[in-house]
Structure 1
């Protein structure tokens, strides 16, 4: 099996674990005695950890010229953290385990993207291949969501978290077989211009990706994170069981797979920005639907389908956009910057989620999410205008 297919398989298995745990984690924290505001603090702490760890993992992979050993380390961290989380006797213990989890999640997110970017560097259809890579992960999420809710109803949430630990261990073992592309052995360490951690270098890496893109990433992720963080609790207010809640979330993930493949192919043909705009617009409409129609089950099914297309359009296109804007020697750092901005959005979103629900209600929170996603779509629209203007200037000269 070549490394692209193997990394895609690892993505599928990895997201099975994500699908199992994501719809249940806030319910688990609530069962340990955490309030909605405390849940938001715990989720925000995880994202803060990832915010700093993303760039550090990417920088370190560029510095040593290796990504696979660090990817395996991150997956082992995840296996350990979920084992500890499944035995958590209190909310504070779970808090510590989730912070440890954040370091592993950052490693996987940044390094798997950088490795795939390296492997696809010579590919013409980068968008389609990236769509398959991330899309099959969403299919894995769907499978996990179907398993997680039913297993939690039949046994306990702690049992599902123990299963996640075993799954992450399996992905770490699979990652041993990846054959990564290493920098040219004939290139000297000076010519490779290895990145440093000084603020000037970090700022230069930040500027290498367009400002409108980075702001759009932050806003879109804030909308998604706030919406997702309170989803199981919101569904409970309508009387939906954990199985129904997980199944609805899994439905959106099932739609994401073909949506990502189609979005990737379209972005290869018509450009990245139209698909980014679509991703922001669809998620805005999704959150508006949660405000108005979440209590009507047939309508909620349609909303989840729309969410799947919005998530798929944004995610695969943003990943492709970020990786194709960097050379191999600095792709880890650039992938880290992209994920760091996403984590900044997640920080904002997880803080807003529980806080707005605690202060107002679920409807206000989902209305704010709709506004954030719309603002992201407008940023991507501005990015498209800027790119077309630059292309026109280049053609005239």
Structure 2
């Protein structure tokens, strides 16, 4: 009963956490443009959350593992995120918004690795069960995106900060409800230092693969919509392309238990990396083909969905015991933080020079390199 209650709270957390992403990803830049900020200020303010995801999760994860007080730190993260975003309701100038987002996202980014570690511990490292729980995050993203779009159309961009605060309030409530989870009892891991874990060949291969996969997704998240719009696709069509990707993600999360029962983790990971290589080539060179673009969006099921679920299983396996929160934080920092940010920045610097087709080809090359590293460095099986 207590386990089910904890998993229900985690499901609610995922819904709210990724609902926040569903608000910020499509509408934060539009809101700032509506406040008449120049482009360079919009660029700074839109990058703060990603920059914080590079270092903040590692700091919070280390603190949680060091003190053993994951629940208290999670509650602090939820409360801090809520309080520091409040100025968005009352200010429309650069520096107050900069400080609010810098501090708010510093606390907000602390929550995910702590909850991921708790979830994987409660589920005993079962990536299939984790995937079905993680579906709530995808549903939250879609729900927030659609509802906020409707509200903005009806009420204007002024409703955006109120939508953010509503989600942050619910997130803080769920952070308060998630119980403390004891670390798994793995004596060898408990006696192994964090640096010793990092020196393992398979761990380095895994983290490099995660970095390269996120690096490859940088131009996708930054320029995919722009690339489609430049080819004459309408805004509603672009929205449907994004929605198809999220629906595919939800579908694969639901099917992961069956896939885990039939295929090894390494097989699933390599398949996702191979699909990602083909997907970015399709986007780059098949931009005029509706069929190829639809197929590429369906591939999001494997380039993110199954890939993320399997990575979670690997991270839980290698960073067990007292290193759980640090391991989850490192995964987020290396992939979504450093990899995702660097991919967006690098693609932005060469987009006008090389063009979309070649930028996405470079993304495909990064995925191919990740495939080679994972194939050479990871074991065929890990404990389930």
TM over 0.5, yes or no?
yes
Q: Distance in 2 between matches of 1:324 and 1:144?
A: 33
Superposed CA deviations along residues 46-76 of structure 1, whole A, max 9, x for unmatched, are 3332211111111111122122222233233
1:241/1:83 CA distance change after superposition, 3 Å:
farther
The aligned residue for residue 278 of structure 2 is: 285
The aligned residue for residue 152 of structure 2 is: 152
Superposed CA deviations along residues 12-58 of structure 1, whole A, max 9, x for unmatched, are 232223223212334445554444x7766555543332211111111
1:99/1:204 CA distance change after superposition, 3 Å:
farther
Q: Specify every segment of 5 or more residues in structure 2 that has no aligned partner in the other structure, as ranges.
A: none
The aligned residue for residue 273 of structure 1 is: 266
Superposed CA deviations along residues 214-263 of structure 1, whole A, max 9, x for unmatched, are 10000001112331123343344345565543443222112111212323
| Segment of structure 1 superposing worse, 107-116 or 263-272 | 263-272
Structure 1 residue corresponding to 2:22, chosen from 8, 19, 22: 19
Is residue 23–residue 232 contact of structure 1 (8 Å, CA) maintained in 2?
A: no
1:203/1:129 CA distance change after superposition, 3 Å:
same
The aligned residue for residue 166 of structure 1 is: 166
Deviation, 1:128, is 1.0
Map 1:100-115; keep pairs closer than 5 Å. 100-115=103-118
2:217 counterpart of 1:214: no
Structure 2 residue corresponding to 1:49, chosen from 48, 52, 71: 52
CA RMSD of aligned residues (A): 3.2
Q: Distance in 1 between matches of 2:355 and 2:94?
A: 23
Task: Give SS of 1:210's match.
Answer: helix
Q: Distance in 2 between matches of 1:135 and 1:17?
A: 15
Map 1:58-97; keep pairs closer than 5 Å. 58-80=61-83, 82-85=85-88, 89-90=92-93, 94-97=97-100
Superposed CA deviations along residues 335-366 of structure 1, whole A, max 9, x for unmatched, are 22222211221231121232233554444433
Map 1:188-227; keep pairs closer than 5 Å. 203-207=195-199, 210-227=203-220
TM-score (norm 1): 0.81
Is residue 56–residue 106 contact of structure 2 (8 Å, CA) maintained in 1?
A: yes
Is residue 88–residue 97 contact of structure 2 (8 Å, CA) maintained in 1?
A: yes
The aligned residue for residue 311 of structure 1 is: 304
Is residue 118–residue 328 contact of structure 1 (8 Å, CA) maintained in 2?
A: no
Superposed CA deviations along residues 118-156 of structure 1, whole A, max 9, x for unmatched, are 2123x6xx0211111223312322222322333334444
The aligned residue for residue 13 of structure 2 is: 10
1:307/1:107 CA distance change after superposition, 3 Å:
same
2:374 counterpart of 1:371: no
Is residue 259–residue 312 contact of structure 1 (8 Å, CA) maintained in 2?
A: yes
Task: Give SS of 2:299's match.
Answer: helix
Q: Distance in 1 between matches of 2:235 and 2:162?
A: 18
Deviation, 1:102, is 3.4
1:202/1:183 CA distance change after superposition, 3 Å:
closer
Q: Distance in 2 between matches of 1:284 and 1:149?
A: 32
1:206/1:317 CA distance change after superposition, 3 Å:
same
Deviation, 1:202, is 5.6
The aligned residue for residue 323 of structure 1 is: 316
Q: Specify every segment of 5 or more residues in structure 1 that has no aligned partner in the other structure, as ranges.
A: 185-190, 196-200, 392-397
Structure 1 residue corresponding to 2:343, chosen from 349, 359, 379: 349
1:282/1:151 CA distance change after superposition, 3 Å:
farther
Is residue 83–residue 162 contact of structure 1 (8 Å, CA) maintained in 2?
A: no
2:257 counterpart of 1:254: no
Q: Distance in 1 between matches of 2:355 and 2:278?
A: 19
Q: Distance in 1 between matches of 2:9 and 2:273?
A: 31
| Segment of structure 1 superposing worse, 358-367 or 370-379 | 358-367
